[in-house]
Structure 1
Amino acid sequence: MIRKLAFLIILVGLGFAGVGGWQLWHGSVKQHETMKKAQALTVTKKDPVKYKDWDPIKGETIGILYIPRLDKKLGIVEGTSPDQLEKGVGHYKSSALPGKNDQVVLSGHRDTVFRHFGEIQKGDDISVDLPYGTYTYVVDHMKIVDKDDRTIIHSTKPKEELVLTTCYPFSYIGDAPKRYIIYAYPKKK
């Protein structure tokens, strides 16, 4: 009886490991596809005036987030649903796009695209590359909030602000109770 129970526990464990491994692999493939699309989209800068009223549709690849400290280039998609975040960094649809002099909000999973997110430091550069230009920001400060805190997302017009969000604590298993927020402002030229 104990042998059968032990065998069953091992099978269940292998099943969970298999599902987790498949999810990681599948997410990695989606992120790679997004990055290829983002690179093709941003390779030639187009006229910013044409993109003045650009309103990407949910799920569309829109650009690249570059974090030099982490040596990471990550594809950005429009939207923050689970399907969209599986593809890469998500842009909150209700927030502005870079260069629009308002709050830009990007979010990602702590265990995929924003792994090592806690290593980002005040003063670090972060760039967002879009079809109509590259926007560089400097990290100003970080804070931790409850997962239900919606005061983070709001208009900052006419001041541009980049906000990066992910779940916290970073090593938490399951739905994390907090959010880690990074605030960055346009780099002065």
Structure 2
Amino acid sequence: MRKTAFLFIVVGVVLLCIGGYQHFRNQLSEKQAMIEANEMLAESTQSVTTKEMAVSAEEAIEDFKPETGETVGILEIPVLNAELPIIEGTDPDELEKGVGHYRNSAYPLQSDQIVLSGHRDTVFRNLGKLKIGDTFTMKLPYGEFEYQMVNSKIVAEDDTSIIKSTAPNEELVITTCYPFSYVGNATKRYIIYAKPV
């Protein structure tokens, strides 16, 4: 009986160590991505010349084609006092660094659906506290774009109807796993819809 109890304690300690290491690694990756995002945004602001100022934001978006894994900007959620790095792509490697931008979705000024995803136990830990009317700001090299939450819903994890074209209307969709307090692989998704302000 003692051996069994000792074995359970050892397994518990090992699992806690693994979880702690993963959490630490995720925090480190997110911090590094945030540093990259701030540097990129500072450089894009400083490098704007008078001639470049004449180029409209619509033309700038045509040249904005980030590679998978690249840090592309910052998502601000004022009511949560959160600044999160936005990474191109939604694979585990990208989501480990911050909020993932779904590769086949749009960016601001492209008049279509923008999809951002993140883990409920890291970057989107408090997402369930948001209410209709709360705002988000996407800071990108070609500008800052504000969106206001208009709706939310919970769907099955395999519901692919969420990601779709909304052209010519721009819409920000933010997704994370649900329920927020669930341990393990969650079976649902929490979806927030926001419109440009």
TM-score band by shorter chain is over 0.9
C-alpha distance in 1, partners of 2:173/2:67?
Answer: 21
- Across the two proteins, how many residue pairs are aligned to each other? 186
Which residues of 2 match residues 80-119 of structure 1 at below 5 A?
A: 80-119=90-129
Question: What residue is the counterpart of 2:27 in the other structure?
Answer: 28
Deviation at 1:5, TM superposition (A): 1.5
Question: What residue is the counterpart of 2:148 in the other structure?
Answer: 138
Deviation at 1:50, TM superposition (A): 3.5
Question: What residue is the counterpart of 1:79 in the other structure?
Answer: 89
Deviation at 1:53, TM superposition (A): 3.4
C-alpha distance in 1, partners of 2:17/2:125?
Answer: 21
**1:10 is aligned to 2:20:** no
C-alpha distance in 1, partners of 2:160/2:61?
Answer: 29
| SS of residue paired to 2:24 | helix
The one-letter amino acid of 2:13's match is L
Question: What residue is the counterpart of 1:154 in the other structure?
Answer: 164
Q: Which runs of 5+ in 1 are unaligned?
A: none
Deviation at 1:85, TM superposition (A): 0.3
Question: What residue is the counterpart of 1:61 in the other structure?
Answer: 71
C-alpha distance in 2, partners of 1:71/1:161?
Answer: 22
Deviation string 1:25-70 (CA, Å, 9 cap, x unpaired) is 0000000000000111112435533332321110000000000011
| SS of residue paired to 1:59 | coil
Identity %: 51
| SS of residue paired to 2:62 | coil
Larger proportion of helix: 2
Deviation at 1:134, TM superposition (A): 0.3
The one-letter amino acid of 2:39's match is A
Deviation at 1:99, TM superposition (A): 1.7
2:187 to 170, 177, 185: 177
**1:37 is aligned to 2:47:** no
Alignment CA distance shift 1:29-1:91 (3 Å): same
Matched-pair contact (CA < 8 Å) for 2:179–2:186: yes
- Is 93-102 or 73-82 further displaced after alignment? 93-102
| SS of residue paired to 1:141 | strand
| SS of residue paired to 1:163 | strand
The one-letter amino acid of 2:17's match is G
Deviation at 1:100, TM superposition (A): 1.1
Deviation at 1:7, TM superposition (A): 1.1
Q: Which runs of 5+ in 2 are unaligned?
A: none
C-alpha distance in 1, partners of 2:88/2:96?
Answer: 12
